[in-house]
Amino acid sequence: MEFRLLPSISGPSDLKKLSLEQLEELAAEIRFAICDQVSKTGGHLAPNLGVVELTIAMHYVFDFGHDRLLFDVGHQCYPHKLLTGRHDMLGRLRQRGGMAGFPEPNESPFDLFSVGHAGTAISTAVGMARGDELAGEHASEKNPDGRHVVSLIGDASIVNGLAMEGLNNAGTLKRQFLVVLNDNGMSIAKPQGAVAQYFDRVRLSDTYTGFRKAAKELAKHLPGGGLAADLYHRLGEASKAVLAEDAWFEKFGLLTVGPIDGHDIPTLVEFFNEAKRFERPMVLHVKTIKGKGYEFAEGNATQFHSPPAFNVMKNDDSDQELVSSGCRVELRKSGRSFTAAYSDAMAMIMERDPKAVACTAAMPDGTGISQILEKWPDRAWDTGICESHAMDMMAGLAKTGYKPYFAVYSTFLQRAFDQAFQEVALQGHAVKLCLDRAGCVGGDGAVHQGFCDIALLSVLPQAALLAPIDESSLRECMLFMNEYDEGLSAVRYPRDNVSMLAEDRFGPAPPFQLGKARPLIQHENPSVAVLAYGTCAIEAIQAADELSDQYRTEVYDARFAKPVDEELLERLISAGTPIITIEDHGLPGGFGSQVIEACNRQGLDASMITRLGMPERWILQGSRDEQLAEIGIDSLGIQRAVRHAVDRSQSSSSRETSSAGVGAKSPA
């Protein structure tokens, strides 16, 4: 496609120079640019295709260099970024130095928060609305140049508990406040629950397909009183019926308008202009199509929510350019993922044990639960974006004698920690957590890094924290957890492909024993011992092989971050062997910290322990390999740490000094 308009948009002020007809042409260019780039690098496709016209209309009416725009989740921000001067960054989408896949304030002042979790937009918007009001900077009839506040949230996110809390408080505002509900009938997968069913009924009702009666008395009963009546009269006869009668949001004190067509730019502009002047909280219910504009994305919005790179093959012999229909798409495969391996292991557990049950929180494909939901619909559930509820539901199932598994991204586990503490661990319930996307996550960047699950869960008494190095050890993790009844247990694994190196070299993983590491490479009189937690063991094996001519490097698959193998620590430290701990997790509170604490409990000298892991700074988007190299837990980084540890040990021995305290140092 030849871009005529998009290159001329250096900011929203350029957008406002275009006619409404030109905005339609710009929408087509934005849609093509996004789809073309995601086909090369991967990224969030369907969510962004669905909000192109909606985003254009918002920027056409509001001035978000001055006004406030808050995104929920943020995976629908690509059109917003292209309209705010970042077209030149699109070519390195989700890569180092390129455009982040989520809103990022370091990129642009148009991005107010780094956002990657659901349910936050309304609450942060309420905070900014109150802050502007306190400063006397909010928009009103007396101050037409003041700041307006808009939050954009999806229909699936609105059911999140935090979103409900935000709505409850938003209804108390006495100023302009707009919630744009992007209703596409989808989350990442099909939304779940009673609220989702309510939206389904609204979409199918006569309100949307053919306007119902336009009753003037309706406005008198809506929040805003006379202002609502004034809005009713200004909207025009054809649009009056979209003031929703007995709307769900009215119960929170918010006037509800819609649903309206989220791909009709003139209508959107009209309604945004009215909403801009409305001095009460309002919900604008917008109906969109996820994946809009490309048949393959519309037809499979779940698969194309955040696909890897893909190839588009046209069904004829014409030039191979992205087309909206009449084509087939193949996702580029790179190997068997840990998610797929977990899915099969979970299926094995469900087959063997009728007491096993499972759930996910709106991530059936992302966590590998899809096949479980299909095969065992009475024993598996998708709760929607409700991690706290899911954790408590699993606690309730445990109380009734079942063995509940909760498949959740590490980064989203944080949202359910209170429930893991109060309703699971405190009660002694054996809920099993399966933590996908643990550690560095690649292109999703800082908002999704799984850097604190060990730190959170390790404080819980009787918790057992496991990590596999490959598929056979993941199966053994699941089998161990299925029989662990002393308390909460969790297994963490990365967003990466399964390596066959360990299984080819050492054979299938043996069963897990609580608090026992598995030796992989051992020597008499070792120069150094590497205790690797999780898949870092693969990199440690490679590093040991590279250094075999220089150092006798032992490698252990630590297996447990809690409890750690205290007998192994005592043996290594008593022999004077330097120890390196490695983890794809934050150093504070992580596996290495657990090792130091174990040494402290035993009165062991921990001065020759070196910890490798994620430092106390944010790791930005890029490939996972780049991120592992950056934090020094790839093979080269481990080799450097081995040399440093051995040199430090030899220097200490030559000076015949001993450490008087207990501590550990991490390499710079």
Active-site residues, by number, are 290, 387, 415
**327 in Cβ contact with 312 (< 8 Å):** yes
Q: Give the C-alpha separation, 213 to 137, whole Å.
A: 39
Amino acid, res. 487: G
Residue with the two structure tokens 């090792």: 595
Main-chain phi, psi angles of 135, to 5 degrees: -85, 0
Q: Give the C-alpha separation, 450 to 533, whole Å.
A: 14
The vertex-412 CA angle with 177 and 121, nearest 5°, equals 5
Three-state secondary structure call for residue 5: coil
- Candidates 499, 511, 494, 503; CA nearest to 623 is 494
**558 in Cβ contact with 592 (< 8 Å):** no
- The structure tokens listed for 655 are 């000076």
- Candidates 414, 373, 368; CA nearest to 118 is 414
Per-residue HEC secondary structure of 337-377 comes to EHHHHHHHHHHHHHHHCCCEEEEECCCHHHHCCHHHHHHCC
- Candidates 605, 529, 607; CA nearest to 568 is 529
The partner residues of 282 in beta bridges, in order of sequence, read 178, 255
CA end-to-end distance (rounded Å), the chain: 48
Residues in contact with 313: Cβ distance below 8 Å, sequence separation at least 6, in sequence order: 320, 327, 328, 329, 330
The partner residues of 560 in beta bridges, in order of sequence, read 466
The partner residues of 519 in beta bridges, in order of sequence, read 556
Residue with the two structure tokens 């290594």: 572
**381 in Cβ contact with 359 (< 8 Å):** yes
